[in-house]
């Protein structure tokens, strides 16, 4: 049930080193961890990092390869998915990014780079509905997020859940079932009023 794929931004803003490490495995609580090939769960995820985090990762292990503005880690997360780090010039500024690329697909790192540049070149600061949900998932502490278990119908088990607080109640809800008001309440103030952009 925990399948994903497609290129997606999973955190708004620049992740510091602590946030970066946390985002590396934001699916740590997934059921049956390590029992399945979870490549599709991670492949396509990306977020912005600080320059110091980029340089730190370059110093940790010898890179698998370096190509122009990108390098890949030699330690794979899953069978064919590894971290690729980018130094990109966007709108006159040098910025740094981390992404999970499936290297079984030869053009994956290039397609990721192009998608990041396209996304970060939007003329108006905005977020898609999916980006709002991904940011909430990324920013929520492990004790308040999880995966649907036996309390949910069979077809929903394994989907992502969050604790939602309301007047006199606490409810476990599927991430994808959050209302607009619940989404807004869970976003930091500086993101709450950004316009919603339709996904491409």
Looking at residue 46, its pLDDT comes to 96
Pairing of strands 45-49, 8-15: parallel
For residue 6 the two structure tokens come to 């497609």
Looking at residue 79, its pLDDT comes to 82
| 45, burial (CB in 10 Å: exposed 0-12, middle 13-18, buried 19+) | buried
pLDDT digits over 137-162, tens only?
Answer: 999 998 999 898 888 888 898 889 99
For residue 45, pLDDT beyond 70? yes
Give CA–CA dist 69/52, Å, rounded: 16
For residue 1, pLDDT beyond 80? no
pLDDT digits over 97-147, tens only?
Answer: 999 999 999 899 999 999 999 999 988 888 999 999 999 999 999 899 989
For residue 113 the two structure tokens come to 């780079």
DSSP state of 195: P
pLDDT digits over 53-71, tens only?
Answer: 999 999 888 898 999 899 9
| Prediction pTM value | 0.88
Determine contact, residues 138/10, Cβ cutoff 8 Å. Answer: yes
């Amino acid at each position: 049930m925990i399948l994903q794929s497609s290129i997606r931004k999973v955190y708004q803003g620049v992740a510091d080193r602590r946030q970066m490490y946390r985002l590396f495995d934001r699916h740590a609580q997934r059921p049956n961890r390590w029992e399945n090939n979870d490549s599709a769960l991670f492949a396509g995820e990306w977020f912005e990092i600080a320059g110091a985090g980029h340089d730190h990762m370059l110093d940790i292990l010898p890179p698998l390869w370096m190509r122009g503005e990108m390098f890949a880690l030699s330690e794979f997360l899953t069978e064919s998915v590894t971290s690729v780090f980018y130094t990109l010039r966007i709108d006159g500024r040098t910025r740094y990014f981390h992404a999970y690329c499936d290297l079984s697909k030869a053009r994956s790192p290039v397609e990721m780079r192009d998608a990041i540049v396209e996304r970060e070149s939007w003329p108006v600061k905005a977020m898609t509905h999916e980006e709002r949900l991904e940011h909430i998932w990324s920013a929520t502490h492990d004790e308040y997020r999880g995966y649907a278990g036996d309390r949910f119908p069979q077809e929903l088990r394994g989907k992502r859940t969050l604790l939602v607080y309301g007047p006199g109640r606490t409810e476990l809800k599927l991430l994808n079932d959050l209302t607009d008001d619940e989404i807004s309440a869970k976003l930091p103030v500086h993101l709450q009023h950004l316009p919603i952009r339709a996904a491409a």
